[in-house]
Amino acid sequence: MDRLQDVLEFERLRRIVNVKTAPYILLALAVALLLRNYLSKQTRPKTWLQSTRRSPDPEKPTDVNTFAEKRMKPTEREPGTWTPSPFTRPTAPPYPNWSHLTTKPLPYRPFRHGPYHITMGLRSMHWDEWIELDNHYLRFHADKARRIAERGPKCCRTSTGDPTTADPRVWDGAVELLEELSAYLSERYPSMFVRTDVGVDNIITNESFNIPELTMNGIREDPMQLCARLIQDDLAIMFEKEDGQYYLLAGAILLAGFWRLEDKFGMPLSEIHTSGDVPGFKEKLEKGMTNFFRRVQPEKAVLRNNYFLQVDDDLAWSSSIGDEDSETVGWFTAEKNRAVEHHYFRSERQSLRRLPRSGGVVFTIRTYFHPVTEIAEEEYVPGRLASAVRSWGEDVSRYKGRERYGEVLLEYLDQKHEEQVARGVDFSKEEEVRAYPW
């Protein structure tokens, strides 16, 4: 009987506990989960390797044609019109431990083992990654200042360059970009940029930018030129006209290496690419790119990367393809099979976003520039780059100039790859360690 009473008492207590404490237990579990999620976000290191994990593989052949359809909403607005968007870019957190003296360039290596696919390679952009600055800043800044002094409007233009005759949308778009950069840079890189009542100051270069007056240290300049002085990137803004095409109507192209703003200024998007003989543009890129530009919204920024080889060390203009002021330039002028010490790896990291007020679509084009002999010392890189170069089709090879340097380059990369094999590099972990585009 006593045992039966004990069992009944235990069962009664168990029911009471279940009824009275269950809500509290569930609440405690919910709070614990929320706290763990919050702490993980606060302490998660934002390394370059983690950046590769949060973006889709951009090298799939169908990427440009499906990206807009899957991620961008269709639009019914009339071509050439734009209603200002209420979107505001999220505040950018300060770059952790950033220094213009010690922060190294991010190691973009945007090539893969063959086969080679012609694709835009789009991936979504996180807003705190819009503009990247590093310890090459002062070199880029000096190169840009020199180019502005030497070439001026050949490199930096906003429509006609005169606000009294320029398309007001274009002029407003260039000023809007200047405003966006001033706000972003002071948030992301506060040790270099400080907001003022009228713009932003660069306290490292002692330059003060006044946006209402469009001046730098009291001297009036084109708004795109002012934008160019702030960052390491080149810049271009495309605007839609009534025919539904996007035209290059504002730009600051100072360090592009292989193309000149004066050649492309005022052209529609398609002609920019066809005039430059971009491989596969008509067949594989034009339709998807046009669709993407039409649909892209201010809140949906994207990134892409590309790469080139050049056989001289000039960041601003690759002299091996001819004089910058020559009417005809091309790889045919480059010295064939120069020693590998003259080979440079040129990588571009491009962001693309729509400005909410003006509706202009902005390209930022950040160049990373390194000797091939430097990057070939990195594990996995020489073998992967050699495979990528060998996989180029005839049109891509012609466009990238392989005939002028391929023999020397590939011999050197193969040698460096064999050295890595000999010292036991584990190539089964390549994708884990150096996932695209790193």
For 287-333, write each residue's pLDDT tens digit. Answer: 888 889 999 999 999 999 999 999 999 999 999 999 999 988 999 99
Q: Is the pLDDT of residue 31 over 90?
A: no
Q: How confident is the model at residue 179 (pLDDT cuts 50, 70, 90)?
A: very high
Average pLDDT along the chain: 87
Query: What pLDDT sits at residue 68?
Result: 53
Work out the average pLDDT over 13-35: 51
Q: Where is average pLDDT lowest: 216-225, 268-277, 334-343?
A: 268-277
Q: Where is average pLDDT lowest: 65-69, 194-198, 201-205?
A: 65-69
* pLDDT (tens digit per residue) in 101-140: 999 999 999 999 999 888 888 999 999 999 999 999 999 9
More confident residue, 17 or 234: 234
Q: Is the pLDDT of residue 67 over 80?
A: no
Q: Where is average pLDDT lowest: 45-59, 74-88, 290-304?
A: 45-59
Query: What pLDDT sits at residue 152?
Result: 93
Of 260, 283, 255, 284, nearest to 272 (Cα)?
260
The pTM (predicted TM-score) of the whole model is 0.83
Q: Is the pLDDT of residue 25 over 90?
A: no
Q: Is the pLDDT of residue 231 over 50?
A: yes
Query: What pLDDT sits at residue 118?
Result: 81
Query: What pLDDT sits at residue 405?
Result: 98
